[in-house]
Amino acid sequence: MAYKELDAEKQKELISYIKQLPLNIEVTCNGKQYLLVHGSPASMYKKELGQYVDKTEYAVWNRFDPQVDEFDSDKTLICGHTPTIHLFPKVPMEVFRARNVLYIDCGCAYPTYEGGRLACLCLETGNISYSTF
């Protein structure tokens, strides 16, 4: 059900639920460690840069850039938020890897834009599947 179709009480409940979710999630699968983020690791937020008002805004809206940002960790970083076409102009969009960072946003919100589609990464096997709209 779409958010706008919910009554005011249900909207409040949903917002409250979302606010209590973690900004990033650490996962271990088959002995390998991953950090799952929407936009960027919250730990990389620097208030002095001034672009974002807080760590939450940074973690959600910053686009981790493999050409500028470095993720120095023994974990693999898995990012959403940035359609891979912005990083690697390939049609159809595909999961993109840069060192120990995987970008999995393949533009499913834009199926008519540059071949946008949903990508699914299985951490157990490493297999990647794509939707066919």
Express each pLDDT in 24-53 by its tens digit. 999 999 999 999 999 999 999 988 778 899
* Rounded to 5°, angle at Cα 83 from 73 and 103: 25
Q: What is the pLDDT of residue 133?
A: 66
Q: What is the pLDDT of residue 125?
A: 95
Q: Is 108 left (phi over 0), alpha (psi -120 to 50) or beta?
A: alpha
What are the two backbone dihedrals, phi and then psi, of residue 27, each rounded to the nearest 5 degrees? -135, 140
Q: What is the pLDDT of residue 47?
A: 81
**Segments in the chain below pLDDT 70:** 1, 133
User: What pLDDT, on a 0 to 100 scale, did the predictor assign at position 68?
Assistant: 83
pTM of the model: 0.85
pLDDT at 112: 78
- Cα 47 to Cα 59: distance, rounded to the nearest angstrom: 12
Q: In this predicted structure, what is the pLDDT of residue 66?
A: 80
